[in-house]
Amino acid sequence: MGGHLLLPGLLLFLPLISGWTISNCLVTEGSRLHLVSRFFLCRLDSSLPLLAACSRVSNVTKALEAVPQGVEGLCLSGSPSVLPTDAFSRFPGLKVLGLNLHLTQIQPGAFRGLGQLQRLSFIRLPLKDLFLPPDALGNLSSLQYLAFSGFCLNGSSGVRLPPNLRRLSLTLSCLENVGQLADIFPDLVLGSSSGDAWTLEMLDLTSNNRLKMASPGALQGLKLGTLKLDHTKMKAAAVMGLGLQRLDALSVTYTDTAELPSGTVAHFELQELNLGLGWTRIEHIALEALASCQSLKSLSLQGSGLMDLPPGLLAALPGLQRLNLSGNKLRSAALCPNETGAVSGLRALDLSSNELQSLAPATFSCLSHLRELLLQMNQLVWLEGQVFQGLRRLEMLDLSNNPLEALGEGWLAPLPALTTLNLLKTHIVPSPAWDFLGPESLQDLRLPLPSGPSGAALSLPMRLTSLELHAVPGGELWELASPVFPALQTLTLNGWGLQLGTQNVTKIFPDLRQLSLFGSSLDGLCSQDTPSFFLWQLPRLQYLRVQGDGHGPKPCCITGLPSLRELKLQRLQSRAQPRRLQLEELVGELPGLQVLHVYDTGLETLSAVTFQGLGSLQVLVLDWEEGLVLDGSLRQHSPQMPRYVYVLTSSLACQCANAWVEPWLERSPRTYVHIASTQLCQPEAGVHPKRPLFPFLRSHCPRTLELGLFLGSSALLLLLISLPLLQEARNSWLLYLQALFRAWLQDLRGRKGEGKRFLYDVFVSHCRQDQAWVVQELLPALEGRRGLRLCLPERDFEPGKDVADNVVESMANSQVTLCVLSCQALHTPRCRLELRLATSLLLAAPRPPLLLLVFLERVSRHQLPRYHRLAWLLRRGDYCLWPEEEERKDGFWAWLGSRLEQARLG
């Protein structure tokens, strides 16, 4: 089940809703992409407002019919072999497009109309031939990134490249000679008509296993920033014969390069070289080879099998700023010989994953400009106090995953600029005497917390903004020596480790915004008197993640966090005594919560009670929850449910209690549910074959189905019988009596309690032809900027109820009625009915609500309904004409704002 069709009218409300599913397409806002990113088979930009991913596509044109026109990022995966002409003409604002299709041919004009497209990628495995017409890409005037992965383009030739293309990627293809690339894209060699050379920021030929040849002058005149030849059989020396006019960076990892390509570096005066990680190891670097590499600013020798370093490495590379030596076999890091006083300009040094056992005091003495030092995953046991002498500008130091047992006295003193320190997965025991003297700007600290002596105090810098502590399960708890951390915003506790009372947490962390709790029993979060009550009241906390260890008792009910925006609960079940939970047992009153992610908690039933304290919830993600039952109370609670619900890698129970879900999904006006996994039901093993969930429920729950059919047919029969009798009555006097009665009742209730709240602020009457103006202009101004609650017929009317009943009830529950009028609206029966009812309410109600008229075009007075109340409105100024000139629109919004303020709105 990839999803469920929405009502067609809902598509007009983009981008007011956060996400929904259409057929096999998953649509979401970019800000919510991290929740469903694993279901997107191509890379999309999370900064884009609206994204869509369609799977199991068999017909491109048909699949795109249901995708909203406002999407800016689109990913298609499926079986089509031909991309038709004008395939994406409905999406002129598309900026990123990924095609994971079995394409063999792209018809001319397939990308016509995509003038704003910036990234285009073709993905296909296993390898398949693809034919590109010469003008297939020519009209993509804004395209900057073009990628082909798993396609053989040898049958294409003379393909014109977009004029603004800056990045070209051809990976996992059948390319054998770089000269073939110039045949496919002759612009790379010929340049523009004026003869200027083409310029690319990057040419990526990674993972072309057959690529081993380079015809002389194959890329003659091309100006290139970065050339990637990783996982090919090309020699770095062969690059010199390509005829490149410029090359700044070269990457040749996992190739047969067995020595430093100094000739290639000198030929192009390369600034960046990335080699190593291959089957042929360099092991040693000759000092003579470095003499030709003085232009390098970045050098990566990762995984090159180096056992030692040439003594004058940094002196031979005076301009080097980044050096990556990770994944080698270095036992010492002799980078700064004592006999020379030269200072290197190196900014970043990576020595991780080597065999370093000790560091001499003068190891980094010549690196006064160093900002980043990575030493994780070595064999360091002891560091002397002066080992970091001279690193006064160092900002980031990573010593994690070392068997460190002790640190010399004053080891941090030479690092006054240090901001980030990582000591996780070491054997360091924090000393109560630690005062972190030296680093005056330390902000991010990651520490292990082994079991300490009883009552031991942990001294930490008070100016930290981020703190991560990993404790030993079951060990003695540490006390915090500092009474308050005023700047701490991010706290991660893996295990418990700290002795934190529920009453003083707010005082210790007054500015905490993000809290992550992993692998603990979470007992410290619960009250002893009320074990299910969450006591950490953090007024500014916005993100909370709680992951249990499988040993805890009944989890706490997290409540009372007024600023919490996102909550993730993961693995809170006790493995020894598992028990199915209700979501209201985990989540209580959280008025500002927008995203709730529930992962493997043993959730059994989801009911309307869950959402009583979650008035702002927009997204509910149910992940790895098996056998869910959606309670029937959700059907009546639909208007208060989240905008969308994702059921990911989860399953609904094969029970008749879920039989109501399928028709509700198809008619739900506000909640959009995506069920990602394909579910099968088999009630009796060996008796019935496995069948999809909803078809099985329809056949297995005949009582529910028959009752629904009976009620539906009875209602339809009654309607058909009553319609001729009630039609004239409705048009003449029945609706007016009903409106007058509701107005009288509304006023009576208002006298008994003046504080009674309306369900809506503004009821908006408009016709279908004027809906675009309402969605694009009125909604952002009133709901977006003023925060008002608007009632729109297509969005907020109760499904199944008669239109006239919906109109009368919605007007009576709205403080203001706003009629959007045009010639087309005045000829629409529903709009004329709404205008008559609004006028009748104004005449009858002792406290009449406000009625405003907005004319989208000039309308003759002869076309207006002949009601004296409407004529009076036209003389009082309760109407305004929408101006066509931009400079006059501010006056229109000022008029509307002043009239709404009279009703105490906005």
pLDDT in tens, 257-303: 778 899 999 999 999 999 887 766 777 888 888 889 999 999 999 99
pLDDT greater at residue 237 or residue 878: 237
Radius of gyration of the chain (CA): 34
C-alpha closest to that of 219 among 192, 250, 179: 179
Residue 128 near residue 100 (C-beta atoms within 8 A): no
What are 644's strand-pairing partners? 619, 672
Query: Is 50 exceeded by the pLDDT of residue 879?
Result: yes
Return the number of other C-beta atoms located less than 10 Å from residue 799's C-beta. Answer: 12
Q: Average of pLDDT values for 29-33?
A: 89
pLDDT greater at residue 518 or residue 801: 518
Q: Average of pLDDT values for 53-67?
A: 89
pLDDT band at residue 803, thresholds of 50, 70 and 90?
Answer: confident
| H-type alpha helices, 519-638 | 633-636
Query: Is 90 exceeded by the pLDDT of residue 566?
Result: yes
Query: Is 90 exceeded by the pLDDT of residue 347?
Result: yes
One-letter amino acid of 662: E
In whole angstroms, what is the distance from residue 793 CA to residue 766 CA? 9
Query: Is 70 exceeded by the pLDDT of residue 894?
Result: yes
Query: What is the phi/psi pair of residue 53, to 5°?
Result: -130, 120
* pLDDT value at residue 274: 94
The contacts of residue 764 (CB under 8 Å, 6+ apart) are 774, 778, 790, 791, 792, 818, 820
* pLDDT value at residue 722: 64
Query: Measured between alpha carbons, how far is residue 180 from residues 154, 170, 196, 283, 551 in Å?
Result: 7, 12, 21, 34, 61
Query: Is 60 exceeded by the pLDDT of residue 740?
Result: no
pLDDT band at residue 825, thresholds of 50, 70 and 90?
Answer: confident
Mean pLDDT check: name the lowest of 128-132, 643-647, 699-703, 842-846.
Answer: 842-846
In whole angstroms, what is the distance from residue 231 CA to residue 251 CA? 10
Question: What are 317-344's pLDDT values in tens digits?
Answer: 999 999 999 999 999 888 887 655 678 8
pLDDT band at residue 355, thresholds of 50, 70 and 90?
Answer: very high
In the three-class reduction of DSSP (H, G, I as helix; E, B as strand; rest coil), residue 439 is classed as coil
- Residue by residue, what is the 3-state secondary structure of 179-220? HHHHHHCCHHHHCCCCCCCCEEEEEECCCCCCCCECCCCCCC
If you count them, how many residues does the chain have? 906
* pLDDT value at residue 251: 95
Question: What are 242-268's pLDDT values in tens digits?
Answer: 999 999 999 999 888 778 899 999 999
* pLDDT value at residue 500: 77
C-alpha closest to that of 488 among 541, 535, 534: 541
User: Which one of 452-456, 648-652, 806-810, 833-837 scores highest in mean pLDDT?
Assistant: 648-652
Q: Average of pLDDT values for 424-442?
A: 78
Query: Is 60 exceeded by the pLDDT of residue 82?
Result: yes
Read off the tokens for 353: 């994953």
- Residue by residue, what is the 3-state secondary structure of 757-823? CCCEEEEEECCHHHHHHHHHHHHHHHHHHCCCCEECHHHHCCCCCCHHHHHHHHHHCEEEEEEEECH
Query: Is 80 exceeded by the pLDDT of residue 639?
Result: no
pTM of the full structure: 0.73
H or E element that contains 727: helix 702-729
Query: Is 80 exceeded by the pLDDT of residue 754?
Result: no
Question: What are 167-219's pLDDT values in tens digits?
Answer: 999 999 999 999 999 899 998 886 544 456 789 999 999 999 999 988 888 99
DSSP code for 639: G
* pLDDT value at residue 865: 66
Mean pLDDT check: name the lowest of 160-169, 375-384, 855-864, 879-888.
Answer: 855-864
* pLDDT value at residue 232: 93
- How would DSSP label each residue in 327-380? TS--S----S-TT--------EEE--SS------TTTTTT-TT--EEE--SS--
Cis amide leading into 15 (omega within 30):
yes
pLDDT greater at residue 543 or residue 610: 543
* pLDDT value at residue 713: 65
Question: What are 767-795's pLDDT values in tens digits?
Answer: 888 888 888 888 888 888 888 888 988 88
Q: Average of pLDDT values for 824-831?
A: 83
C-alpha closest to that of 476 among 489, 463, 491, 495: 495
Q: Average of pLDDT values for 232-239?
A: 90
* pLDDT value at residue 8: 33
* pLDDT value at residue 17: 32
Question: What are 572-591's pLDDT values in tens digits?
Answer: 877 767 778 888 888 988 99
Query: Is 50 exceeded by the pLDDT of residue 223?
Result: yes
Burial label, 225 (beta-carbon count in 10 A; 0-12, 13-18, 19+): middle
Query: Is 70 exceeded by the pLDDT of residue 737?
Result: no
Query: Is 70 exceeded by the pLDDT of residue 871?
Result: no
Query: Is 70 exceeded by the pLDDT of residue 596?
Result: yes
* pLDDT value at residue 294: 92
H or E element that contains 591: none
* pLDDT value at residue 6: 36
Query: Is 80 exceeded by the pLDDT of residue 525?
Result: no
Q: Hunting for tokens 């509910």 — which residue is that? A: 620
How many secondary structure helices (H) and strands (E) does the chain include?
Answer: 21, 44
Read off the tokens for 151: 């396609």
* pLDDT value at residue 687: 45
* pLDDT value at residue 691: 75
pLDDT band at residue 18, thresholds of 50, 70 and 90?
Answer: very low
C-alpha closest to that of 249 among 231, 229, 235, 233: 229
Percent share of the chain, pLDDT over 90? 34
* pLDDT value at residue 728: 44
pLDDT greater at residue 465 or residue 559: 465
Question: What are 499-509's pLDDT values in tens digits?
Answer: 776 667 888 89
In whole angstroms, what is the distance from residue 507 CA to residue 587 CA? 24
Query: Measured between alpha carbons, how far is residue 202 from residues 2, 138, 262, 463 in Å?
Result: 37, 20, 21, 42
In whole angstroms, what is the distance from residue 163 CA to residue 289 CA? 40
User: Which one of 59-68, 693-702, 745-754 scores highest in mean pLDDT?
Assistant: 59-68
Alpha carbon 76 to chain centroid distance?
18
For the chain, first and last CA: distance in Å? 43
